[in-house]
Amino acid sequence: MSREESLSDRVNLLDTRQHRDGRESVFEEQILISSILLLLCVLVSKISHRVGIPVLLCFLGIGMLAGSDGPGGIYFDNAALAQSIGIVALTLILFSGGLDTQWQAVRPVVWSALSLATIGVLLTTVLVGLAAIFLLHVSLLEGMLLGAIISSTDAAAVFSVLQTSKIRLRERLTSLLELESGCNDPMAVFLTLDLTILLTTPHASVASLVLLFFKEMGIGALCGLLIGKGASLLIPRLHLEVEGLYPVLTIALALFVYGLTAVLGGSGFLAVYLAGMVLGSTLKEVRALNRFHDGLAWLMQIALFITLGLFVFPSHLPPIIISGLLLAGFLIFVARPVSVLISLVFDRMSIGEKLFVSWMGLRGAVPIVLATFPLLAGFSKASLFFNLIFFIVLTSVLLQGLSLTPVAKLLGVIVPPVE
């Protein structure tokens, strides 16, 4: 080997090492930043509980401050990655919520919850869609798409507010709120995807999409119930020697349920929630798993809301503030109450309880994740809709989350503490 070739090889080796060291340095910086954000979220959650600010709003705020428009300066605009993170996070959050939901407690409110999760979501979609047509001057399908994206309450937001609030509600009311928030996502997902298809695919027919709805719901319910029942029979018989593998098993189970159901053409979110509920209602070791999945659900909520906070550009929000406030006010004070009162017309709950169910219709991560679907599909007004949805979510969490206790006292739904 000549002297020149040896020198060239050394230079190439040095460049390779520098390139590798640079990548490692970037990765280490990402780990450091991620750990700082997690620590901030944990510390801020303590402050938010004392002050009374919804903790999920704090997570969103930290993500926005860390973003490109904030002092953090982290640029993130990958809609596909944000959507993927959202789907995985919501899968684990819904599974945790299902584990916490006992069938004996929710059985009396099943039909009411299903009515809210289907009729209520559909009515909210139509009402908000009509308001969007009037306020934004969009077409009928475009208005309905906006209504569909914002139509469902958010399981993460509802579970979080119920867990962190210091009020005690009637068991039937709490069960209804939890079951509705866990079951209404599939309807919103279906409406959002199908309306996006109608807007971006000229030859799509409404009749085929209606049949697709029953197929998705049927496959989702069947997979969730069957896999949940099978897991409840299998897990006690495994007798794993390492106890720490049981949480690993249930994480794999949750992801398996969602993946298999989605591949078969069903609603993965519905299947995951039902599988978790069946498993939690029959498994004796569920308390230990609940503690683990509760912590995992909080981690997923932090990751989800920080990601969505990074994804939004606050500098794009001022032009839509007025229309966003009008739509948020219409949703909170008109569309949600009307849909709840109609959906629960045959329920014997008091008017105060029904109005409280209406007020607890918090919007959270689910609508923001759903708003990424039109973005990826190339819908022309997707950016406008995303900013509007984000602003409505902020308004909902801030207004409804902060006023939860006063509204509960005003409507007389708080149960006195047991001495």
Number of C-beta neighbours around residue 369 at 10 A: 26
Q: What integer best gives the mean pLDDT of the chain?
A: 84
d(CA 172, CA 92): 25
pTM of the model: 0.83
Rg of the Cα atoms in the chain: 23
- Report, as an integer, the average pLDDT of 143-170: 79
Give mean pLDDT, residues 78-87: 88
With CA atoms as reference, report the closest residue to 339 among 187, 118, 154, 170.
Answer: 118
**Residue 141 contacts residue 198 (beta carbons within 8 Å):** yes
CA separation for the pair 292, 368 (Å, rounded): 26
The mean pLDDT value for 53-78 works out to 83
* Most confident listed range (55-64, 330-339, 341-350): 330-339
**3 state DSSP class of 414:** strand
* 36, containing H or E segment: helix 3-51
- DSSP state string for 68-123: TTSTT-B----HHHHHHHHHHHHHHHHHHHHHH--HHHHGGGHHHHHHIIIIIHHH
SS3 readout for 99-111: HHCCHHHHHHHHH
Q: At how many degrees (to 10) do helices 171-183 and 268-282 cross? A: 140
Query: CA 320 to CA 374: how far, in whole Å?
Result: 18
The three-class DSSP label of residue 190 is helix
- Residue 349 clears pLDDT 70, i.e. is over it: yes
Report the range out of 40-54, 56-70, 159-173, 222-236 with the highest average pLDDT.
Answer: 222-236
CA–centroid distance for 157 within its chain = 8
Calculate the alpha carbon distances from 374 to 135, 188, 197, 347, 369 in Å: 20, 14, 9, 36, 10
Query: How big is the chain, counted in residues?
Result: 419
pLDDT digit string, tens, across residues 170-182:
888 888 888 888 7
Residue 4 has pLDDT above 70, yes or no: no
Tell me if 176 sits within 8 A of 120, measured CB to CB.
no
Q: pLDDT for 262-303, tens place per residue? A: 999 898 988 998 999 898 877 766 667 778 888 898 898 888
For residue 100, the model assigns a pLDDT of 81
Cα–Cα dist 282/102, whole Å:
9
Q: Which domains does the chain have, with CATH numbers?
A: 79-411 (1.20.1530.20)
Q: Residue with structure tokens 């994206």?
A: 149
Say yes or no to pLDDT of 10 above 60: no
Give pLDDT, residue 376.
86
With a pLDDT cut of 70, the percent of the chain lying above it is 87
- pLDDT category at 222 given cuts 50, 70, 90 is very high
Per-residue pLDDT at 225 exceeds 90: yes
Is the sign of the CA dihedral 228, 234, 238, 239 positive or negative? Answer: positive
